[in-house]
Amino acid sequence: MTTDLQLLATTAVSAGFIHTVLGPDHYLPFIMIGKTRNWNITRILMLTFICGLGHVLSSVALGMVGVFFGVGLQKLNFIEASRGNLAAWALIAFGLLYAVWGLKKAYQNHKQAHLHFHADGAVHAHSSDHVHVHKASDTQKITPWVLFIIFVLGPCEVLIPLIMYPAAQNSVSGMILVTSAFGITTLLTMMGTVAMGIYGFSFIPFKRLGAYTHAIAGTMIFLSGLAIQVLGI
């Protein structure tokens, strides 16, 4: 491995870690969705891995097309910027819609407070905390797919201009090496950050928030998307 390739590999690892940690959209949606839906850690990390893989491979595929077909770096940067803008707005819309759905669900649960009459004549008051068992709603089934699509749309902004194109000047095998280093680091950082977040949120009494957990989760996702769009992080 040449000195230049070693430097690019180090840059790839550093960039993969930093761009993931600084972007709350890389971990906050998974933490919030997982906590509100009471998913186990395995399911949350599996969704994180799948979305992260789609996130990385979409930029890798675009970079490969650029390298092998001689597409200019400026044009690819424009495409990546457009994808990033679209993904940020998609995350904002998803968070907002999820928060509205959460508020609607909380209101419906509040209206469902009722008096339950038993055969023996006894009457019991039931509040919105009364537990009913339901099948998974359409929203629960759709949510993972929405996150996956958003992450496929979302680019790894630093990958193509700072890692893939410079490495391609060395060799194709070198480009594959540094790209793999970036992708693996990004995925491991996403999963590690989500795992730490889940552990940290375990100390927060989510159950006390009652029916408003979904609304809060949607608001947090909305704010993370807004931070990406407004602050450019």
Whether 174 contacts 186, CB under 8 Å: no
List the chain residues with pLDDT less than 70. Answer: 1, 109-140, 205-210, 232-233
Give the 3-state DSSP-derived string for 102-162, with helices as H, strands as E and coil as C: HHHHHHHHHHCCEEEECCCCCEEEECCCCCCCCCCCHHHHHHHHHHHHHHHHCCCCCHHHH
- Residue from 24, 26, 42 nearest 34 by CA: 42
pTM for this entry? 0.82
Q: What is the pLDDT of residue 74?
A: 86
* C-alpha 169: how far from chain center: 32
Q: Where do the structural domains in the chain lie, given as residue ranges? A: 3-231
Q: What is the pLDDT of residue 207?
A: 60
Distance CA 13, CA 5 (A): 12
Summarize pLDDT for 138-196 with one digit per residue, the tens. Answer: 556 788 899 999 999 888 888 888 888 888 887 888 899 999 999 999 999 999 999 99
Q: What is the pLDDT of residue 1?
A: 67
